[in-house]
Structure 1
């Protein structure tokens, strides 16, 4: 079990403040440092991230994280440091002509220093090399234990400015860590930074865990825990305090916990005989409200971002399909009509797309459709793909993929165009990912 102090809340960082633009010698052209990442025909932007000045190894660490984050996003192509024409001063405009020779369109410079109390201060500037001007400049401050987060926050600012899409680097991913032979897997709840750093185990493996789900607004994770010989129970663990609670006291098996957008309610599926129905639980009063009442298996519910609708999977039509209903259970209707079986729907934080797992002869695919069921696209297919979970910016998904045999699942990040696919480092096999909300520069 990790120490609660490992997880820093939003008071750990000073809010970012803007830096004044530095003067340049020549008149600047209009800035063009933008990329349209909503479509699949983009080309990654060549960008250079110079070594940050200041605090030695910490400065190098921060600039290295910025470069790695941007490169892993798939939307940037970091320039190799061996091609850098200079080590630019943070307090002066770079030599734009020399940087243009490297092919770089963007340049990030920075500095990490300490204030009088010993706290770290990180400053950065993003330069449009082609236009010859500063695009953005910010500074942030924090304690030494959060130095890695400084890199993620700066990368988020650069990413957002160029793409016009919210950042996602300053986040964590919860997942089920699986170790041991396939027939006797030890399953522990784990959480890590989105780049695989700062891995923490939240359970010890004495109970099997599945289906962790982050709250969209807090550092709470709901998950299924099943001690040997007992029914599964939904638990919630708070990463800031380390407190844990069992939610409800049901005689039948519960599954598929999912928070409401405000974090105050929890959707669960409750098995009743051979059926399963969806309930909403108020986490304050622990009162439950039944939302579906069918002879089918209704499960895997997910709220719309505004909380007005719920998508879920059901076999009420004879095969697993995706349905949508009002948040009170009213007016259910079918959304998916393609070939195959649909499961594990998840509503994008932007509200525009629904991700799903699709099974058809030959394997499992991960796809997206519009919120009205139109425009279905499969992003990736294979022997076994499952468990799509959205980044807080609605631009990426993390899934787990199992190649079969005696091996196990691994985590992969894909973007909504299907053009970017990146494996995520985990210590062993991994399944059931869940992406945290953006921690933010005020964290």
Structure 2
């Protein structure tokens, strides 16, 4: 797969790009579990600095608008309502004109070419306080990486207004599906978080399941059936080359996940009808058994600091969630609601665990605190499963499958407040998403 190379510089721009000296409380969205009225913003367009940048300027403007409005937190004011016309990047802002159309934030930008690089400049203004929010910034990259530049601009705007970490400049690896439901062909694919730039990492010659990114986004673990039994494979994203990890003859290995530092892999190993969690050192291949319960332990996920593991087990009679030390030992049950719990994933913030829940004939994606408290169900459908966290721990992507003989899997996302449930565009049926970290 082609690796996007971004030569980026972020610098303060002199003169008109300097922030106002006055200290004033900035515009800010506080995200709660309640209903949020989207913040109206105006984007005067990313003005082309030369004719050869005109089309790119339009495309970048659209991606930024789509990123922001797609969160459900922002609403773009139509350009037909604008009173002031911004002709150049340095046009002074007439705040009263933007206040008149109830814009609370204003984005002004430009796009140009310099030395074969695409250069994007932008500023963000708080309309009602009448001042610039933070310093203006300049980003530069190859023209082929224009979408990444747009996502990075969106990330800055989103973070300055919401106070949340960025997540637009990220990717998702998933299982791309085709063919009839009873003979589905599956292959690994990777795309931008919004469904753009899809490329394929494997062919459809064998079943592949549950891809998982490394913390640096350079490698993907997944389960393959190419030998006839589930085995774990590690793939290099840049080259799409992959290798099977060492295993014990007569066993099956599956559900792998990297440790936060990428040095170890936790996974399930089935032997003689019993499934336990194991730990493998990536460099040496040495393994360590973590659980010895006569039950099924699977779907392990590290805490962000690498010190603990959350997993699912039926040791209590039904699928429930447990937490234990990353070195093994006693486990503590954290799920106690009605129904069965599975596929737990630790939030990158460390404060929550997302999970799949099956109860009363319905499937749900939910979240809870790491001690099992404050459980909240975010979705409900015929089949929702396999949550994955955005890099900032704010959004969850998952698989939703429709019922019936013609039913198929699709990717959906939802905010952790339960708001803004939406389908993620993919070329065809898709499942098993795994969100990358923020790209460098």
Q: Paired residue for 1:185?
A: 184
Q: CA deviation at 1:354?
A: 0.3
Residue 387, structure 1, aligned to residue 381, structure 2? no
1:250 to 235, 248, 254: 248
Question: What's 1:413 paired with?
Answer: 413
| Unpaired runs of at least 5, structure 2 | none
Q: Within 2, Cα distance between the matches of 1:93 and 1:31?
A: 22
Which digits, 9 at most, give the CA deviation of each residue in 1:162-206, with x for residues without a partner? 111111000011111111100000101111101111000111101
List alignment gaps of at least 5 residues for structure 1. Answer: none
TM-score by length of 2: 0.94
Structure 2 CA distance, aligned partners of 1:13 and 1:436?
Answer: 20
CA displacement 1:230-259 (0-9 Å, x = unmatched): 112211111123332211133311111111
C-alpha distance in 2 between matches for 1:365 and 1:42: 23
Question: 1:60 deviation in Å?
Answer: 1.1
CA contact (8 A) 2:355 2:365 kept: yes
Deviation string 1:285-319 (CA, Å, 9 cap, x unpaired) is 11111100111000000000000000000000000
Return the offset for 1:42: 3.0
In the alignment, what sits opposite 2:45?
51
CA RMSD after TM alignment:
1.8
Q: Is the 8 A contact 2:400 2:409 kept in 1?
A: yes
Is the Cα contact below 8 Å between 2:26 and 2:133 reproduced in 1? Answer: no
Instruction: Determine if the alignment matches structure 1 residue 265 to structure 2 residue 257.
Output: no
Residues 62, 331 of structure 1: alpha-carbon distance in 2 compared, 3 angstrom cutoff: same
Structure 1 residues 298 and 23: CA distance shift in structure 2, 3 A: closer
Q: Is the 8 A contact 2:247 2:253 kept in 1?
A: no
Equivalent in the alignment of 1:369: 368
Give the aligned partner of residue 112 of structure 1. Answer: 111
8 Å Cα contact 2:352/2:369 also seen in 1: yes
Measured in 2, the distance between the counterparts of 1:21 and 1:430 equals 49
Most deviating of 127-136 and 27-36: 27-36
- Which structure has more relative contact order (CA 8 Å, sep 6+)? It is 1
Would you say the 8 A contact 1:29–1:131 is kept in 2?
no
Residues 31, 128 of structure 1: 8 Å contact kept: no
Alignment partners' CA distance in 1, 2:248 and 2:153: 45
Q: Which residue is 2:295 aligned to?
A: 296
- Residues 1:23 and 1:240: Cα distance change in structure 2 (over 3 Å): closer
Q: Which runs of 4+ in 1 moved over 6 A?
A: 26-29
Aligned partner of 2:120 in structure 1 is 122
CA distance in 1, matches of 2:32, 2:240: 38
1:436–1:27 Cα change, 3 Å: closer
**1:267/1:134 Cα in 2 relative to 1: closer, same or farther (>3 Å)?**
same
Local SS of the residue matching 1:235: strand
Deviates more, 1:125-134 or 1:96-105: 96-105
Contact 1:31 1:133 in 2 (8 A): no
Q: Distance in 2 between matches of 1:13 and 1:167?
A: 19
Q: Is the 8 A contact 2:33 2:418 kept in 1?
A: no
Deviation per CA, 1:33-90: give whole Å up to 9, x if none: 1001244343221112221112101111111111100011111112223323344131
Q: Is this contact kept in 1: 2:158–2:166, CA < 8 A?
A: yes
Is 1:281 the counterpart of 2:280? The answer is: yes
Q: Distance in 1 between matches of 2:37 and 2:263?
A: 41
**Alpha-carbon separation, structure 2, partners of 1:239 and 1:230:** 24
Moved more, 311-320 or 31-40: 31-40
Where do residues 28-427 of structure 1 align in structure 2 (5 Å cutoff)?
30-54=24-48, 55-88=53-86, 89-115=88-114, 117-136=115-134, 137-227=136-226, 230-251=228-249, 252-405=251-404, 406-427=406-427
Stretch deviating more after TM superposition (51-60 or 150-159) = 51-60
Deviates more, 1:265-274 or 1:315-324: 265-274
Superposed displacement of residue 217, structure 1: 2.0
| Deviation for aligned residue 1:23 | 8.4
The DSSP-based 3-state class of the residue aligned with 1:56 is helix
Does the aligned pair in 2 maintain the 1:188–1:204 contact within 8 Å?
Answer: yes
Q: Quick one: distance in 2 between partners of 1:18 and 1:338?
A: 52
Q: Tell me if structure 1 keeps the 8 A contact 2:378–2:418.
A: yes
1:226 Cα offset (Å): 1.2
Q: CA deviation at 1:353?
A: 0.3
Work out the CA distance in 1 between the residues paired with 2:112 and 2:126. Answer: 25
